[in-house]
Each structure stands twice: as structure tokens, then as C-alpha cells.
């Protein structure tokens, strides 16, 4: 499959440099962008919505709904064609377009028949990627819908610019290279993994000491998760983990560090004034997971989460704080699940 146009080598180098400078690649999913793609999905009634950043060898999704993976190889693609212009690039029926009718996602799962993508630009005017919508049946967008797509893309583009200028991004840029971030990012949930937890644990404790706050730890574990995999399959289980990650990230504060330490277990690192503030955040997480069923395939699954909380104490070894939070999680499970337990003092 080929497209009739492409960027020349010099233009592509400028575009790639602009993308690299943003420090957006291989960073955790963002709750606000997650909300934006979900609203876009509802607005257009489509299967898939992506904030797709086009890296040198891959398409990496900063936000996604309706797509099971966080990245795909960079081959001739819909989004690769969309970034060549400034207006929405629309394919109403992929079967009738000879340039894309043989694409893998057209002739195989998920059998896309429709695509529309609006380029997202950096402050320098370089196309970083797209906000795109895709569906499994042909569609037509009228003028109003095209304006709506551009409006949603404007919001995504503006937020990406704010992210690239944020203090959090500057700190991330100073602390970790892109290659280091890649190995610390969980590909399923787009949260920091266990290696990321170990890395940020020390940094968060040092920051808490510098700011006169306390380091709080929340150990979160989905209740009866094994039964989800057993009854509905691992695809539904993976989607449950992905959606749980979205709920946890949305319930905490922007500066908090959310990680997936393994399996169905998530660990959150927070700077708090006291145990009461830590328990307030934990309860927000519990309520967020409990109040929103997981939508997977044709299912609506009610899931709950148990949480163990611990506040790091003066002179305590950090590993012991993690152990106390884990022990509190054990008590939450033993005492009926779907609850928060505070660890006993060290």
C-alpha cells in the first residue's frame, strides 16, 4: 500500500525534532486527554478515537479508546497521510479508496471502514500527529461534524502544548531519558511499572522532605479479578485493568505518581499533610472504581477495589512503608473488600 504524498527528508527531520522537543512520547496516560477521547467517541458514535503521535518508527498513542495497544509500527497509514495537510483527512469508505483498501486494519481486525483525522501541530507549526476517529462501518461527516472534529482537535492540541511546557514535564525531562521512560512504562495501562515505582519512590520522598510534607503510599488491588479472566477471558481482563488505571489516574491529583506494580495491583505515591488527606484520596479512588461499571465488548461489569494506605514515618526505611501499605491492603481484603485500611504506625 502506498500513499501519493509524503514529507521530504528535511521536512520530516524538522517535524521529528519538534516532536522530540515536546517530551510527550513514552509518558503516562493523562486523565484529561483520556476524557477528551472518550467524549469524542460519544460525540461521533465511533469505535476508536486516538491522540496519535507519529514517531520515527511508530505511531504512539498518548490517549486512546477502542484500541487495545499503545503503539503500532509506522507503516503507510491514515494518520501518516493526515499530517500532510491542515484540514481533516476523511475516508468515508476504506473499501472504495484504492490507497488504503489493502491496509491491515481494513482487511483484518478491526476491519475499519471509516477514518477521519485532524492534524495536531506544535507551537512551531510542525505536525506532531492527529486526533483521529475510526469506525467499522462507512460514515459521512457533514460540515457541522467536521467543525466539531476540528474543535476537539484544538482542545487536544492546546493541552499537548500546555503539557510540554509544564513543570512536571520539565522535571521528567531532567530525570529520565526517553529510553529510560520506555522501560518504565507499562504497555497495557500506560502507567509507570514496577521499575518506575522504585525510581519515583526515592524522588517523591526527597521532594516530601524538601516541601515539609509526608510521603503517602496507596496499595490498590482489584477484588476478585481472577474471576473476570476466568469468566470473560483475558481481553476483557486487560480492558478492566486499562479502565481501572483511567479511574485511578482521574481520582488522584496531577502531581501524584500512579503505577501498576504487577497483575491487578496499582501503587500510588502522594505527598500529603497527614493520614486524613491520604485516606480522602484513597476513598476517591475506591468510589471512582465502584461507581462506574467496566464497559467491555457487550458487558457492563461491576468491579470494586481494596486499598491499603500508609504514611512514611521519620527514619523509616522506604521499603518498610511499602510493606505496611501492602499489609493494610491484606487487612482490607480480609475485612470484606471494597474498603480502605490505614496501616498501623511503624
Say if CB 117 and CB 131 are below 8 A apart: yes
- Of the chain, the end-to-end C-alpha distance in Å amounts to 62
Alpha carbon 186 to its chain's center: 10
Cβ neighbours of 33 (radius 10 Å): 20
Active site residue ranges: 264
CB 290 within 8 A of CB 305: yes
Helix (H) or strand (E) holding 307: strand 305-311
Angle 74-44-1 from CA coordinates, rounded to 5°: 30
Alpha-carbon gap, residue 26 to 24, rounded angstroms: 6
Task: Please say whether the beta carbons of 212 and 234 come within 8 A.
Answer: no
Stated length of the chain: 346
Contact 130, 79 (CB under 8 A): yes
Amino acid at each position: 500500500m502506498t500513499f501519493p504524498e509524503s514529507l521530504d527528508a528535511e521536512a520530516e527531520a524538522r517535524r521529528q525534532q519538534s516532536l522530540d522537543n515536546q517530551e510527550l512520547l513514552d509518558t503516562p496516560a493523562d486523565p484529561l486527554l483520556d476524557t477528551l477521547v472518550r467524549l469524542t467517541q460519544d460525540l461521533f458514535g465511533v469505535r476508536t478515537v486516538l491522540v496519535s503521535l507519529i514517531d520515527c518508527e511508530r505511531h504512539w498513542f498518548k490517549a486512546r479508546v477502542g484500541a487495545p495497544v499503545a503503539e503500532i509500527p509506522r507503516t503507510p497509514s491514515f494518520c501518516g497521510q493526515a499530517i500532510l495537510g491542515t484540514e481533516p483527512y476523511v475516508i468515508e469508505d476504506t473499501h472504495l479508496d484504492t490507497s488504503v483498501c489493502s491496509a491491515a486494519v481494513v482487511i483484518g481486525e478491526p476491519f475499519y471502514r471509516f477514518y477521519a483525522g485532524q492534524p495536531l501541530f506544535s507551537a512551531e507549526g510542525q505536525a506532531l500527529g492527529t486526533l483521529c476517529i475510526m469506525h467499522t462501518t462507512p460514515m459521512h461527516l457533514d460540515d457541522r461534524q467536521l467543525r466539531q472534529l476540528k474543535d476537539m482537535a484544538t482542545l487536544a492540541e492546546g493541552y499537548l502544548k500546555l503539557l510540554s511546557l509544564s513543570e512536571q514535564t520539565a522535571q521528567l525531562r531532567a530525570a529520565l531519558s526517553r529510553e529510560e521512560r520506555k522501560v518504565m512504562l507499562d504497555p497495557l495501562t500506560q502507567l509507570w511499572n514496577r521499575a518506575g515505582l522504585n525510581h519515583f519512590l526515592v524522588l517523591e520522598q526527597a521532594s516530601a522532605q524538601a516541601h515539609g510534607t509526608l510521603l503517602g503510599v496507596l496499595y490498590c488491588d482489584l477484588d476478585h479479578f481472577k474471576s473476570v479472566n476466568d469468566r470473560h477471558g483475558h481481553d476483557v481482563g486487560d480492558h478492566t485493568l486499562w479502565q481501572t488505571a483511567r479511574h485511578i489516574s482521574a481520582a488522584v491529583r496531577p502531581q501524584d505518581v500512579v503505577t501498576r506494580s504487577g497483575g491487578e495491583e496499582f501503587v500510588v505515591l502522594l505527598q500529603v499533610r497527614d493520614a486524613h488527606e491520604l485516606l480522602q484520596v484513597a476513598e476517591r479512588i475506591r468510589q471512582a472504581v465502584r461507581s462506574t461499571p467496566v464497559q467491555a465488548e457487550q458487558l457492563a461489569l461491576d468491579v470494586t477495589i481494596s486499598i491499603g494506605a500508609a504514611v512514611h514515618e521519620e527514619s523509616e526505611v522506604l521499603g518498610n512503608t511499602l510493606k505496611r501499605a501492602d499489609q493494610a491492603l491484606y487487612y482490607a481484603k480480609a475485612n470484606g473488600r471494597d474498603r480502605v485500611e490505614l496501616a498501623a504506625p511503624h
